[in-house]
Amino acid sequence: ITAPLADGAVQQHSETASINAVPAPKLPMAPRPPLTSLSAAELPALLCSLGFERYAAGFKAAHICGADLAFADNADLLELGMSVTAHRKKLLKLVFAMNTLGVPCNPRPL
């Protein structure tokens, strides 16, 4: 886009500059449910959505709910069949985040 100046020169304007100058509207985010609110039927779906599908059946069989997971430690996860140390560490980090920020999805019972 060009615009004439008072002295007859032409100034170039970038089309993207004017687009980028307008901030995008912030859409309201739905509140995230707390981890402790998940039932034993919903927790396996959450595990699957987080990439832990191989452990979902063990959690389901043990009737573990969100409140149980919220306070689980390394030994608890090992007892539930999570034999891979890196998986336990990753899930514990995610549990910490979900205890603070809520569950990132709306799990439906499997």
Q: Give the tens place of pLDDT for each residue, 49-98.
A: 999 999 999 999 999 999 999 999 999 999 999 999 999 999 999 999 99
Helix (H/G/I), strand (E/B), else coil: 83: coil
Residue 32 has pLDDT above 90, yes or no: no
Query: What band does 27 get if pLDDT is binned at 50, 70 and 90?
Result: low
Q: What is the mean pLDDT of the chain?
A: 84
Helix (H/G/I), strand (E/B), else coil: 38: coil
With 0.75 as the threshold, say if the pTM is over it. no
Residue 29 has pLDDT above 90, yes or no: no
In angstroms, the CA 106 to CA 32 distance is: 8
Q: List beta partners, residue 3.
A: 11
Residue 28 has pLDDT above 80, yes or no: no
Cα→Cα distances 51→31, 56, 61, 83, 90, Å: 23, 10, 18, 15, 10
Query: What band does 105 get if pLDDT is binned at 50, 70 and 90?
Result: confident
The pLDDT value recorded for residue 104 is: 84
